[in-house]
Amino acid sequence: MPELTVILKEGEHRIPFVPGQSLRDILDTTDVRVRSGCRGMGACGLCRVRIEAGKVGEPTPNEQVHLGSTQLAQGIRLACQVMAEQDLQIVLLAPAPESDWRSLPDGGRQRVKRSAPFSLKGMPQQVENPYGVAVDLGTTHINLSLYELSGGQCLGDRYGLNPQMDFGSDVMTRLVAASESPEQGRTLGRQVVKAIGEGLLDIATREGINLQQVVRLILVGNTAMLALLSGRNYGLLLQPSHWMSAIDCLPTDTESWAESWDIHPQARIEVIPPLGGFVGSDLLAGVVATGLTENGGGSLFIDFGTNSEIALWDGEVLWVTSAAGGPAFEGSGISCGLPVAPGAIYRVSLQDGALDYAIIAGSEPHGLCGSGLVDLIANLIRSGTLSNMGRFTPTVPKEGFALVRDNRDIVLTKRDVDVFQRAKAAIGVGIEVLLAQAGMGGKDLRRICVGGAFGRFLDVANAQEIGLLPMIQPDLVELCGNTALAGCEDMLLSPVVVERLKRLGNEARVINLSQCLDFDDIFFENLYLQPNREK
């Protein structure tokens, strides 16, 4: 994969990229963005860079207008007009102000294909060119995208950390915090409302968009996040007696949200309700986005996250459950962990007896994201440094295995391995229980769809080798990226998809893993870091 090297005062910043993207789009997925204000159309002339090394195409007419012959001769170009095809080295002449929000990477991103004409029924009619927003409210990240509704064009997308992380990295910790006092519960809700507004503002300022043209917003999420956002019935999720029932967590008043976000005051804001217990509307959105139920049985969908959700289509029934995998898949709860972000090690490989690694958008490693953690564990087992029970050999120091010794040491501890094993085992229980409910075994699986940021860089073979995924042919495993957001975008643009989702919700069967009599035995069996036994 080619690399874009950005020369900064503090050193070089290396960004691997897929050829065919503009320099602006590549930079926007990192924390070294360039100024912009015209959706990358070359109209504002702000995104100026200097090409230091590497070949690029001839200047476009927009560049000739904004730059002139002298600047072009000096290698100065507009980042949005330069398509990157090979290794390049650049200097940012107009760096953007720092922001907590980044553009969603195109790699593995599913773009929406509209299945029916969009209808503005029930929405403000006086807006000439209406926009819509899709929001995926996750435990760790908030993802959102803004669409031009009449033509279905995506005008911008962003992701950022959920600020509720201040109250805990997992859903149960946040639910307990919200239940401690009404004011604390309101604070958790206000944090998310404010964060969504900041993400929308970032899109508006960088893409030159008037948010008053937003007439529709659809939001999906796991049950706990929806309940904390609306401030309704989150306490019920702390009671096991409600883990099978539907939780009424829809907001009663969204007008204040529209005002806070500076969108059209009459915008239609729709929060898609969860299925039941901890199975949220993000799972249904993923099922829709992957077309899980559109073919024969044997299709499994796993949306990895802090609150991992699993769906199995047996050809007639959609079996669903949630697994408390914890934040390990998203880089939290691990001493050397990091979310999928610049500086995260996302790939680890064994080369000639030594471990090598690749970093997201950076030259200095800051930690391991979920896929990097899977790779590292798989390679340590392969080399004999770690046993399938999760124990290091005596040659490894007591503090753990050091992948990086530098200004910032990256050390995998025994506790880190334990946390990952428990997260993996929780997923394993979910898969086995759903298969048993459907009267199926792993040998009956014909398709596995992996959702979530965790799956974007996942090495399928390594995941199977340590028992994270069932042992089917690797080419039958699809890495689908953010399926929750993709499904939400589908709903935003097509009333047909909304009806399909509601129908799926009515037909799905929610399984509560805590009521599984063999839970402890299955959990213990899945703690081993080895391929799953075929059943």
| pLDDT score at 122 | 67
CATH fold of 3-92 reads Ubiquitin-like (UB roll) (3.10.20)
Distance CA 408, CA 26 (A): 26
Coil, strand or helix at 227: helix
* pLDDT of res. 341: 77
pLDDT of residue 353: 79
* Integer Cα distance of 322 and 237 in angstroms: 13
255: alpha, beta or left, given left = phi > 0 and alpha = psi -120 to 50?
Answer: alpha
Could you tell me what percent of the chain has a pLDDT over 90? 65
Tens digit of each residue's pLDDT (9 = 90 or more) over 432-467? 999 999 999 999 999 999 998 787 789 999 999 999
Q: What is the pLDDT of residues 186-206, one digit of tens each?
A: 999 999 999 999 999 999 999
pLDDT band at 117 (very low <50, low <70, confident <90, very high): low
What is the domain partition of the chain in residue ranges? 3-92, 131-274, 290-535
Asked: is 131-274 a CATH 3.30.70.2740 domain? The reply is: no
78 bridge partner residues = 48
H or E segment at 73?
helix 61-73
Tokens for 511? 């399984």
Structural contact between residues 532 and 467, judged by C-beta atoms closer than 8 angstroms: yes
Confidence of residue 331 (pLDDT cuts 50, 70, 90): confident
pLDDT given for residue 40 in this prediction: 87
What pLDDT shows up at residue 108? 42
Q: How far is Cα 137 from Cα 192, in angstroms, rounded to an integer?
A: 9
Higher per-residue confidence, 382 vs 327: 382
What sections of 335-448 are H helices per DSSP?
370-382, 414-437
Of 44-58, 119-133, 390-404, 450-464, the one with minimum mean pLDDT is: 119-133
List CB contacts of 97: < 8 A, sequence separation 6 or more. none
